[in-house]
Amino acid sequence: MASKKASNKRQRGAQKSCSNVFSMFEQSQIQEFKEAFGCIDQDRDGVIKKQDLKETYGQLGKLNVKDEELEEMLNEGKGPINFTVFLTLFGEKLNGTDPEDTILAAFKLFDPNGTGFVNKEEFRRLLMNQADKFTAEEVDQAFALAPIDPTGNIDYKSLCYIITHGDEKEES
């Protein structure tokens, strides 16, 4: 009896997590994701597999995709990629930004005096030479959104807000 109860609890938990992913999107977005899923699921069996990805890439003109690259994509799903998993992966990617306070704490490491600013050129150097190295183009893209004062300092508190809430200029 206890094992049946535990099994039912696991099933309810699985249902709850599935329903949560659907609540992350508007109905029109879910429909668009269904259409995209249908385009990728070439054999229409409800699961995206390596052959589906190969055929999709082929239709897009990219014929020599490495198996390792395809397997890496499939491994992001940590199991068969049905529509719910597909939607979950997109939800994680679209909503995967760290909370504002986490991003602020990271910036504060580069601001020992607590001014709320970091030097643009010093920050550029760090981004291009430390950890996950950015390219010059990636840094330029990031700085395009950054509020930079005339002396070359980034207002990282405002930047954190833009990262987590969007740029008002983009939305208008």
Whether residues 127 and 154 fall in one domain: yes
Angle, helix 100-108 to helix 156-165, in steps of 10 degrees:
150
- DSSP letter at 60 equals T
Domain final residue, candidates 60, 79, 95: 95
Average pLDDT over residues 125-139: 89
- Say whether pLDDT at 114 is over 50: yes
Give the pLDDT of residue 166: 67
In the block, tokens 């740029």 appear at 167
Instruction: Using alpha carbons, list the distances in angstroms from residue 141 to 67, 75, 125.
Output: 31, 29, 15
The pTM assigned to this predicted structure is: 0.48
Whether residues 46 and 108 fall in one domain: no
Structure tokens at 85: 């998993």
- Per the structure, the count of domains in the chain is 2
User: Which residues lie closer than 8 Å to 117 by C-beta, 6 or more apart?
Assistant: 111, 149, 153, 154, 155, 156
CATH of the domain at 36: 1.10.238.10
In a domain, 17, yes or no: no
For the CA atoms of 85, 76, 134, 172, the dihedral, rounded to the nearest 10 degrees, stands at: -10
In a domain, 6, yes or no: no
Task: Please give the residue that has the higher pLDDT: either 52 or 90.
Answer: 52
- Distance, in Å, from the CA atom of 114 to the CA atom of 155, rounded to the nearest integer, reads 12
pLDDT tens-digit profile of 2-24?
444 443 433 333 333 444 778 77
Whether residues 115 and 69 fall in one domain: no
Domain that holds residue 68: 24-95
pLDDT tens-digit profile of 25-68?
788 889 989 999 999 999 999 999 999 999 999 998 888 899 99
Whether residues 87 and 127 fall in one domain: no
Whether residues 28 and 88 fall in one domain: yes
Whether residues 90 and 28 fall in one domain: yes
